[in-house]
Amino acid sequence: MASVAVNGLKLGTTSQAYLEGKAVSDTKVLISDLCRQFYNLGWVSGTGGSITIKVHDDSIPKPEQLVVMSPSGVQKERMVPEDMYVLSPNGSVLCTPSPKPYPHKPPKCSDCGPLFMKITHMEMIKGIKGHGYYDELVVPIIENTAYEYELTESLAKAIEAYPKTTAVLVRNHGIYIWGDSWINAKTQAECYHYLFEAAIKLHQLGLDPTTPNHGPIKQNVKGVSGSGICRNISVNAGTAASDNKFEPSRRCIVLDIEGTTTPISFVTDVLFPYARDNVGRHLSATYDTEETQDDIKLLRFQVQEDLEKGVAGAVPIPSDDAGKEEVVQALVANVDSMIKADRKITALKQLQGHIWRTGFEKNELTGVVFDDVPEALKKWHDSGIKVYIYSSGSRLAQRLIFGNSNYGDLREYLSGFFDTTVGNKRESSSYAEIVQSVGVDKPSEVLFVTDVFQEAVAAKAAGLGVTVSIRPGNGALPENHGFMTITSFLEI
């Protein structure tokens, strides 16, 4: 962590001790732990920009207490205390995280101030009137007072500043939700807690809590004891074997794309040619943007490594001084060679994702999934099983395929996306990293579905359950491969 003076003002001895003290350190740990928990519980995925907590220290007056903020661009499940920013009460940055080695992007402090929080793409946001999964809810944050009636003025100011909001967060107290009147959601939640507990007990007894006469519940949930104590309410997501036996229940399913959710022909005959045919146009049109310059930097790094290793097809990329046209020409030659060799490298996949994004935006591309995929995804989602994607394609490309598919937007059934930034798909350490990210107690609670034998071997070595997908156009498996196989997701 590098400390900096703000506007030429040096921190006093007391403030410096506070800045480097246990209270600030504990707050950094708290935010990183919360980010990982938010991800593991499936509440919030993506990066952790502007998650903010005020540093509590009784020896520091409230107006002078510091603020810790998570950085923009770091995935929640990989957040660590050293990634945090420390801000002054007025929002000036006092400490910045040290940059990580290339090719990691430099840390960035979010432009969002710690005066409100924005919520979007959350399942339970629909509980707030007028909001759905894709809507954005802005929640102003105000200071707590000794008595609730004293909050009136602050609540009024918050509503005046954010007229479209339906909720205000009071620090260290709870959320107030606007209906016919302001309701303390903390008290409301305590009431719901008892109702929820009663509903679970009725469910355990085989009764349907949604009907007045408590008729028999239709769905059989395994792992519920007759004593009324819920030991495990996860739904069996095992793979069917030829003798109709099932593997142990799974909490998560991780899916490959090519040859598993999507025909290989779509990738090889549609996506790859589109990227190859449009790489020059894309680089020329976006050459000066920050995103494309980052893509070029990553490609330079990869090509230099390829040249040192003598990789076929690698050609030197001239410096920027040579001019835009020469640089683009060399990049096109390298990308074309990489695509023909079907290389699973981040530099290529990141650029392809950006090119495909343009194709989807122009309706020149539409994602393709097998007919059984939407029904299976919905079934698993409704059963409480978290479904993730792990593909060599970038996470952007994955979202594009499932967000713009021949069956519409399927992303609501997916809990997250993994790409080669977690590691090569044929290395067991990559699957161990995924297990850590999805938050299960043991690897066997994760089922990995792929069409590639080497990937199946790597996942099995990491302790995951594995099923091999048999689809039209997929390569042949070795004899006596030892893995369960399916021809449709509906068999799972």
Residues tagged active-site = 123
Residues, the chain: 492
Q: Is the C-alpha dihedral spanning 413, 415, 420, 421 positive or negative?
A: positive
Q: What are phi and psi of 465, to 5 degrees?
A: -75, 145
Residue 158 structure tokens: 């918050």
Q: How far is CA 294 from the centre of its chain?
A: 21
Instruction: List, in order, residues 6 or more apart from 418 with CB less than 8 Å away.
Output: 254, 388, 389, 390, 391, 395, 434, 437
CB 107 within 8 A of CB 1: no
CA-CA-CA-CA dihedral for 446, 452, 458, 463, to nearest 10? 20
How far apart are the C-alpha atoms of 51 and 76, rounded to whole Å?
10
96 beta partners: 2
